[in-house]
């Protein structure tokens, strides 16, 4: 995997995590907010799953921890 591919993967995971956090923070219980939260969760799971497949579980965990350190 090239550095550019790793960066794109990290960016996707980071963006998915940010959207999930925003959806949780802004959730007001409305059907629209619940749908947004469900979609954000699905995207985060998909990005996380791809990361684990591509990088391997240990490298994925390191990447998630690095992303968590930068809000």
pLDDT score of 69 more than 80: no
pLDDT of residue 71: 60
Q: What residue ranges do the domains of the chain occupy?
A: 3-68
pLDDT in tens, 27-58: 999 999 999 999 999 999 999 898 888 777 77
Q: What pLDDT sits at residue 56?
A: 74
pTM (two decimals): 0.73
Q: What pLDDT, on the 0 to 100 scale, is given for residue 31?
A: 97
Q: What is the three-state SS of 7-69?
A: HHHHHHHHHHHHHHHHHHHHCCCCHHHHHHHHHHHHHHHHHHHHHHHHHCHHHHHHHHHHHHC
Question: Which pLDDT belongs to residue 45?
Answer: 95
């Amino acid at each position: 995997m090239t550095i550019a591919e790793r960066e794109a993967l990290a960016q996707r995971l980071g963006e998915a995590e940010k959207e999930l956090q925003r959806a949780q923070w802004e959730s007001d219980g409305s059907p629209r907010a619940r749908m947004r939260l469900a979609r954000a969760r699905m995207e985060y799971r998909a990005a996380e799953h791809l990361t684990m497949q591509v990088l391997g579980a240990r490298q994925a965990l390191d990447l998630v921890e690095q992303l968590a350190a930068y809000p």
